[in-house]
Amino acid sequence: MLKVTLTPGAGLDRALESASKGFYAVLEEAVRVGFLRVYSYPSLDSLIASSMVFVKAHDLGVDAIVSISLNPPSSVEEPTVLIGFDNVNYKANHVKSRLVAFYSGEFKSIPVHGTTYVDGPGSHSALVYLVATGAKDHTPSYIVGALAGAYSSRFVDRFGRFQGLDRIVLDKLKLATRLSLEMVTTIKGYKPNVRDLCESLSVTSNPFYPGITGDYDNCVRALNSLNLTSLLGVKLSGLDQKMLENAVLAVVNVAKRTYNVDIEPENIVGGVLVSTNPSYPVVDFREAADTIAYVADATRDPARVIVTLVDVENEYPMAEARFEEYPRRLKDRLGQLKPLKLKSNIRTPIYELQIERGDPPLHIWRALRTLGLVEQNSIIAFREEGELRASPLQVEEVEQGGCRKLQELGVAKLEDGILKLTIATQ
């Protein structure tokens, strides 16, 4: 039994060596029995980390099954990896095979015989990437997983600064890869180092720019109306400070006029990690996290995260193409919002919105939140097959551990990757 806390500093390499021994002991057992169980909490970061474990098992010729759950299994019968659960309070007779558990934060559980618990200040994706590869495997699935996982966690702030173990992963990748990774500070757009200003903004869904997102011509008209024609055709990452300030002014003015809301510009400018390697399937890693979330949410199948990352060179371009088309329809999904009156003591505001399969609740919620039309801690619910449902990825973005809290309150249950709400309405 072993508990390892990975902490940036002089003792990290020794801690990594111990954690890796525990991780590979599970994989060796899986090779022997020909089977690996992976259980993931339904957050995007946990699912991305699970995909890296899946890739590692596949490389070793081991069949792996990833299950999505709000709680870890009650007992461990086969070689098992747990990702994203902090309540792994097993007793010795509950664990009959090798087990390794990863948690982003601090484990309060005590390991028992045959188990290794790994925690630390970093995303689940950073923990798994460091333990499984030492940040030395630079195949696309691992790099995209590590960086997209970082952007889906709390370890990258709104200015694009990486924190904790994620910062260590980023530094190692910059030194070891040929991706030419760099951080550009700009308006949050899509592929800022590839697209010009209006093209970048028009295919952006996070954040949502009312009147501009989904409409290239509206962006051009906005710049022309403010005598900013000099910005047309310029790459977003190529704008100097004065040009950036003018572009922010144009975006904010259009947003206020379109929805009659007061949007402050302080959250519009941020850092974006990009790659200048044109042969690489991903060039914008913040948008990679959003694209992967979009595919999982729109298909109502969180396991699509794993499929996309396992075959990232073929699957990701197709996912990205669908994602780029969505902003054209996003603005048409923001009406018909109604608050639900609940027969419950739950304090979380819940809104019902009529959406279609193919619409991602997470991205719609982000847009509504940007406009100030829903609270920061709200949940967007939708009806499918006669049931009221919600996106676990959206709930987890509101609050870490939010899905499990809803279950504990008796108002939701996770089935087939979707939260089914069991609350009564007035």
> What is the per-residue pLDDT for 426?
60
The residue among 52, 56, 16, 40 whose CA lies nearest residue 146 is 52
Pair (149, 217) in one structural domain: no
Q: Which domain holds residue 257?
A: 185-266
Same domain, 132 and 196: no
Percent of the chain predicted with pLDDT > 90: 69
Is beta strand 269-275 parallel, antiparallel or unpaired with respect to 338-339? unpaired
Q: Pairing state of beta strands 418-421 and 387-390?
A: antiparallel
Helix (H, G, I), strand (E, B), or coil: what is residue 286? helix
Domain-embedded: residue 380: yes
* Dihedral sign, Cα of residue 388, residue 390, residue 392, residue 395: negative
- Rounded CA-CA distance 224/232 in Å is 9
Tell me, yes or no, whether 219 and 344 share the same domain: no
Q: Which residues of the chain have pLDDT under 50?
A: 267
What is residue 276's predicted lDDT score, i.e. its pLDDT?
Answer: 79
287 part of a folded domain: no
Which residues have C-beta within 8 Å of that of residue 337, sequence separation ≥ 6? 351, 352, 353, 368, 373, 374
Do residues 288 and 295 lie in contact, with contact meaning Cβ atoms separated by under 8 Å?
Answer: no
Looking at residue 268, its pLDDT comes to 52
| Beta-ladder partners of 271 | 185
Q: Are residues 210 and 342 in the same domain?
A: no
- How far apart CA 416 and CA 303 sit, in angstroms, is 10
**For residue 269, what pLDDT is reported?**
61
Contact 182, 273 (CB under 8 A): yes
153 and 189 both lie in a single domain: no
The CA distances from residue 173 to 22, 108, 151, 163, 179, in Å, are 24, 31, 15, 15, 8
Residue 280 domain-assigned?
Answer: no
Among residues 161, 177, 199, the one where a domain terminates is 161
Give the pLDDT confidence score for residue 366 in this predicted structure. Answer: 94
With respect to residue 282, please indicate whether it lies within any of the assigned structural domains. no
The pLDDT, as a whole number, for residue 221 is 92
pLDDT digits (tens, 9 = 90+) for 210-243: 889 999 999 999 999 889 999 999 999 899 888 9
Give domain status of residue 246, yes or no: yes
For position 149, what pLDDT does the model report?
97
Q: What is the mean pLDDT of the chain?
A: 91
Clarify whether residues 9 and 127 are in a common domain: yes
The pLDDT value given to residue 175? 87
pLDDT in tens, 266-282: 545 678 888 877 778 88
Q: Are 94 and 210 contained in the same domain?
A: no
Q: Which residues pair with 186 in a beta bridge?
A: 270
